Structure 1
Amino acid sequence: MEMLSLLTDPEAWIAFFTLTALELVLGIDNIIFISILVDRLPPQDRERARKTGLFFAMFMRIGLLLVLAWIVGATEPLFHVLGQPISPRDIILIAGGLFLLWKSTQEIHQLLEGEEGAEGKAVKSTLSAIVFQIIVIDLVFSLDS
Structure 2
Amino acid sequence: MDYLMQLAADPTVWVALATLIAMEVVLGIDNLIFISIITNKLPENQRDRARRIGIALALVLRLGLLGTVAWIVQLTEPVIEVFGQGLSWKDMILIAGGLFLLWKATKEIRHTVDPEPDGDMFEGKQGNAVEMTFASAIVQILLLDLVFSVDSIITAVGMTPHVPIMVIAVIVAVTVMLLAANPLARFINDNPTVVMLALGFLMMIGMMLIAEGFGAHVPKGYLYAAMAFSSLIEGLNMLARRAKRKKEQGAS
TM-score by length of 2: 0.47
Any conservation in 2 of the 1:75–1:89 contact (CA below 8 Å)?
yes
2:148 corresponds to: 141
1:92 corresponds to: 93
Distance, in Å, in 2 between the alignment partners of 1:112 and 1:18 is 39
Q: CA deviation at 1:8?
A: 5.1
User: CA 1:81/1:18 → structure 2, altered by over 3 Å: closer, same or farther?
Assistant: same
1:27 corresponds to: 28
Distance, in Å, in 1 between the alignment partners of 2:113 and 2:61 is 33
Any conservation in 2 of the 1:78–1:88 contact (CA below 8 Å)?
yes
124, 127, 136: which one aligns with 1:129: 136
**Matched letter for residue 135 of structure 1:** L
Q: How many residues are matched?
A: 138
Q: CA deviation at 1:72?
A: 1.7
**Matched letter for residue 26 of structure 1:** L
Distance, in Å, in 2 between the alignment partners of 1:68 and 1:96 is 21
Q: CA deviation at 1:37?
A: 0.9
2:117 corresponds to: 118
Q: CA RMSD in A?
A: 2.7
Any conservation in 2 of the 1:76–1:87 contact (CA below 8 Å)?
yes
Per-residue CA deviation, residues 88-126 of structure 1 (Å, 9 max, x unaligned), is 222222222222222222222222223xx2348434201
- Report sequence identity in percent: 49
Q: CA deviation at 1:40?
A: 0.8
Per-residue CA deviation, residues 45-92 of structure 1 (Å, 9 max, x unaligned), is 112222233333332222222233212223332222232222222222
User: CA 1:112/1:144 → structure 2, altered by over 3 Å: closer, same or farther?
Assistant: farther
Any conservation in 1 of the 2:57–2:145 contact (CA below 8 Å)?
no
Report the 3-state secondary structure (helix = DSSP H, G, I; strand = E; otherwise coil) of the residue aligned with 1:86: strand
Unaligned runs of 5+ in 1: none
Report the 3-state secondary structure (helix = DSSP H, G, I; strand = E; otherwise coil) of the residue aligned with 2:36: helix
TM-score by length of 1: 0.75
Distance, in Å, in 1 between the alignment partners of 2:75 and 2:39 is 34
Any conservation in 2 of the 1:72–1:89 contact (CA below 8 Å)?
no
Unaligned runs of 5+ in 2: 1-5, 120-125, 153-252
Distance, in Å, in 2 between the alignment partners of 1:137 and 1:80 is 25
